[in-house]
């Protein structure tokens, strides 16, 4: 007996919706292999042809992955933000490109700091001061990234306040200091969430995180900004375009 109630829509779409429901309520989890076509078609009370059409639609929506001779698998959870690391966009731009509202919480600005580990990279003297900025970035009020930014204090106005930089830091430097960042050298490091990051990003201890460490340079090749950005790996995915030399 069919488990699908009478409906004017095509039968395969009703089967597809039933599978959608099982994915949403956690019955089928990312990476799970679905029962065989024979068992699924029997459980839904439909033909294999109808079931296959439902699976075809789910595969088109990237919700399942069918592997010939192996089975059909629930697609691993997709990242909300996908970006080529060769594209130097601010986090604000990345979030807004998805049609979401970019925000900042827990912003902390520290002036007159000395960071000896970065003096050489910035070509600073021992007594030169730096500005350190810590903040959590949000997408539609949900925390998605935690940022630590370091830049020489001489590059920013003396009367700078936290309210002044409640926007994209790249935009701030261009508008307020006439500094145009043209490229960055980046490293991606997989890390796990510690107590500090758990609180800032609403994660669990040990959850995977993507750490993007970048030194930014202006159009004259001067280092102007060093950043350590911790991205939730369930929200961000970075890819790299590699050309054969």
Distance in angstroms (rounded) separating the CA atoms of residues 238 and 212: 10
- CATH class belonging to 86-232: alpha beta
Q: How far is CA 50 from the centre of its chain?
A: 36
Distance in angstroms (rounded) separating the CA atoms of residues 69 and 18: 24
Partnered with residue 73 across adjacent β-strands are 33, 65
The closest of 195, 64, 236, 215 to 52, measured between CA atoms, is: 64
Q: Per-residue confidence of the chain (245 residues) as pLDDT tens digits? A: 445 555 567 899 899 999 988 988 888 888 889 999 999 999 999 999 999 999 988 887 768 888 888 889 987 665 555 565 556 778 888 888 878 898 999 999 999 998 988 999 998 888 899 999 999 999 899 999 999 999 999 998 888 888 777 767 888 888 888 999 999 998 988 899 999 999 999 988 888 888 999 999 998 999 999 999 999 987 877 766 555 55
The closest of 145, 155, 170, 151 to 109, measured between CA atoms, is: 151
Helices (H), the chain: 11-24, 37-44, 48-60, 91-97, 116-122, 169-177, 195-201
Q: What is the DSSP string of 126-150?
A: TT--EEEEEEEEEETTEEEEEEEEE
Within 8 A by CB and 6+ apart from 54, the residues are 12, 13, 15, 16, 19
Extents of the domains making up the chain: 11-81, 86-232
Q: Which fold has domain 11-81?
A: Arc Repressor Mutant, subunit A (1.10.10)
């Amino acid at each position: 007996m069919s488990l699908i109630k009478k409906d004017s829509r095509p039968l395969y779409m009703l089967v597809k919706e039933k599978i959608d429901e099982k994915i949403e309520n956690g019955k089928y989890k990312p990476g799970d292999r679905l029962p065989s076509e024979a068992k699924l078609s029997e459980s839904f009370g439909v033909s294999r042809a109808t079931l296959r059409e439902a699976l075809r639609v789910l595969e088109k929506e990237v919700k399942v992955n069918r592997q010939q001779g192996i089975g059909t698998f629930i697609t691993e959870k997709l990242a909300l933000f996908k970006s080529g690391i060769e594209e130097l966009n601010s986090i604000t731009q990345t979030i807004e490109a998805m049609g979401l509202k970019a925000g900042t919480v827990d912003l902390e600005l520290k002036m007159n700091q000395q960071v000896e580990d970065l003096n050489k990279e910035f070509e600073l003297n021992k007594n030169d001061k730096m500005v350190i900025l810590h903040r959590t970035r949000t997408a539609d009020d949900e925390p998605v990234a935690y940022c630590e930014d370091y830049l020489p204090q001489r590059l920013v106005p003396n009367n700078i306040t936290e309210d002044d930089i409640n926007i994209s830091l790249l935009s701030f430097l261009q508008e307020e200091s006439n500094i145009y960042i043209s490229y960055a050298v980046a490293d991606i490091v997989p890390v796990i969430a510690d107590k500090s990051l758990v609180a800032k990003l609403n994660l669990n201890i040990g959850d995977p995180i993507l750490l993007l460490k970048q030194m930014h340079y202006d159009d004259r090749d001067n280092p102007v900004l060093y950043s350590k950005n911790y991205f939730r790996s369930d929200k961000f995915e970075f890819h790299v375009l590699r050309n054969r030399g």
